[in-house]
């Protein structure tokens, strides 16, 4: 598709993602959702990027032009938009965010009336409408049929109650010293409120967004800052979120950043112990470390692999009747509590796990030691078909024979080729990554 990537539409604000594109995309989405409209209302949220004002106004213009009413809720986490779309009986939810990208990028994500991310087929249908001048022109309304917009500032309370209800009612965070890094992003208000109300002794970092400092040397992208504070303040644990708070990175009491697959593994074991894990199975992506498979196998828990992207994780979960899954990057889905990855739900579940076990965070996570895995990105000018690259099959076979797992894929949001090698011999993996890079640099020019 020309517009949609793996997670909505994303690009540099004012350039690829300009006001005209946002307005027309909103019109196309309005046309698509109006075919099965119930309330003729769409909810719009955003993170803290300065460009969110421009894109939000353009989206409101596009939606009202085709007869939709709009509820604007301001800066809120992506999972909050998913929850509130269903809770407030809207036909659709729209989140304006580029997640972990720098502030100069932005993005537009859509949710259906049940708070689910759209299927590839639905995104394709919206994109087809976007490029159809006749449909866009004919759908515009006049007079009293033009929609209206309303800004609502009090919905944060609904989401706070919802998130707090995911935490066991017989527990409190009292006695835990927690450091939160909210990344100058969408969770800067809601996260501290939730953890404070549940009784934690709280220290909050990066909670002064100015429109340009989202993800800047803070949050899930830079957990080293959180690690330093956790150790310095002798905290029990640290939680870092990304710009739209659908992702969680954890730091233990020693200041060590916890591997994403170790986080998934420990949470899986906790759910299993609490008799809350459906089908004795979880979903993880093709990126997840083989050490996770080995850890779960000892507990007779099955792991099903999906493509990269939390919406693909969720699709596999639905297909198999599974209620837990996640990505190595920190997108973790508890479908009993959320329709998408929710960093706050994940953090609270880990808090419950910590309290229930009576162990320190470092003790919990030492049970999983990921095998050496190297990730690398190559900048590219053109996404040529990998299947057409001469010698690639032979390279993959050679790596497999050496006991090295490989995964080569293009980024869905950037002009990057992502490379992954994993094996038990770190030196061999390092050596082979150099050869892999050289192969692709030559093959892709």
Any idea which residues carry the catalytic annotation? Answer: 99
Per the CB < 8 A criterion, the answer to whether 19 and 54 are in contact is yes
Contact 190, 77 (CB under 8 A): yes
Q: What are phi and psi of 178, to 5 degrees?
A: -120, 135
Residue 70 and residue 64 in contact, taking contact as beta carbons nearer than 8 Å: yes
Three-class SS state of 10: strand
Q: What is the CB neighbour count within 10 angstroms for residue 234?
A: 8
Q: What is the DSSP string of 338-367?
A: -SS--HHHHHHHHHHHHHHH---HHHHHTT
- Yes or no: say if 188 and 75 are a contact pair by the CB < 8 Å rule: yes
DSSP three-state, residue 339: coil
Which residues are paired to 251 by β-bridges? 238, 257
| Distance separating alpha carbons of residues 63 and 69, to the nearest angstrom | 7
Give CA–CA dist 313/379, Å, rounded.
26
Nearest to 325 by CA among 362, 275, 350, 288: 288
- What stretches of 81-160 adopt beta strand conformation (E)? 92-96, 105-111, 149-151
Q: Which two tokens stand for residue 440?
A: 């692709």
Question: Residues 42, 33: contact at Cβ < 8 Å?
Answer: yes
What span, in angstroms and rounded, lies between the C-alpha atoms of 226 and 400? Answer: 37
- Please, how many CA atoms are within 13 Å of residue 42, restricted to the half-sphere of its CB? 33
Tokens of 335: 């479908």
């Amino acid at each position: 598709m020309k517009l949609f990537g793996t997670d909505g539409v994303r690009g540099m604000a004012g350039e690829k993602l300009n006001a005209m594109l946002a307005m027309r995309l909103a019109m196309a989405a309005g046309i698509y959702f109006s075919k099965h409209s119930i309330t003729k209302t769409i909810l719009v949220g955003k993170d803290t990027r300065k460009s969110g004002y421009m894109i939000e106004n353009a989206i409101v213009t596009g939606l009202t032009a085709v007869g939709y009413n709009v509820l604007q809720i301001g800066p809120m986490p992506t999972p909050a938009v998913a929850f509130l779309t269903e809770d407030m009986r809207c036909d659709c939810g729209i989140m304006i965010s580029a997640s972990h990208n720098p502030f100069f990028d932005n993005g537009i994500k859509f949710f259906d009336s049940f708070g689910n991310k759209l299927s590839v087929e639905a995104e394709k249908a919206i994109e087809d409408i976007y490029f159809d001048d006749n449909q866009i022109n004919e759908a515009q309304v006049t007079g009293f049929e033009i929609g209206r917009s309303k800004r609502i500032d009090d919905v944060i309370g609904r989401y706070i109650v919802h998130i707090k209800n995911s935490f066991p009612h017989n527990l409190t965070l009292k006695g835990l010293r927690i450091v939160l890094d909210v990344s100058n992003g969408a969770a800067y208000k809601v996260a501290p409120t939730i953890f404070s109300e549940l009784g934690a002794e709280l220290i909050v970092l990066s909670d002064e967004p100015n429109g340009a400092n989202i993800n800047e040397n803070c949050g899930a992208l830079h957990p080293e800052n959180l690690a330093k504070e956790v150790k310095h303040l002798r905290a029990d644990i640290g939680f870092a979120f990304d710009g739209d708070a659908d992702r969680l990175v954890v730091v233990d009491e020693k200041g060590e950043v916890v591997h994403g697959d170790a986080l998934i593994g420990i949470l899986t074991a906790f759910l299993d112990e609490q008799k809350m894990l459906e089908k004795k199975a979880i979903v993880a992506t093709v990126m997840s470390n083989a050490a996770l498979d080995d850890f779960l196998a000892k507990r007779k828990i099955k792991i099903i692999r999906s493509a990269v992207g939390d919406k693909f994780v969720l699709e596999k979960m639905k297909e198999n009747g599974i209620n837990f899954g996640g990505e190595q990057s920190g997108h973790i889905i508890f479908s009993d509590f959320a329709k998408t990855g929710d960093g706050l739900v994940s953090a609270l579940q880990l808090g419950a796990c910590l309290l229930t076990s009576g162990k320190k965070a470092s003790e919990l996570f030492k049970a999983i030691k990921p095998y050496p895995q190297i990730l690398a990105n190559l900048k590219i000018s053109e996404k040529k078909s990998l299947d057409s690259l001469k010698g690639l099959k032979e390279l993959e076979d050679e790596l497999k024979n050496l006991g090295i797992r490989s995964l080569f894929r293009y980024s869905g949001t950037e002009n990057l080729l992502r490379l992954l090698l994993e094996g038990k011999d770190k030196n061999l993996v390092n050596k082979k990554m150099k050869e892999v890079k050289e192969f692709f640099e030559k093959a892709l020019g």
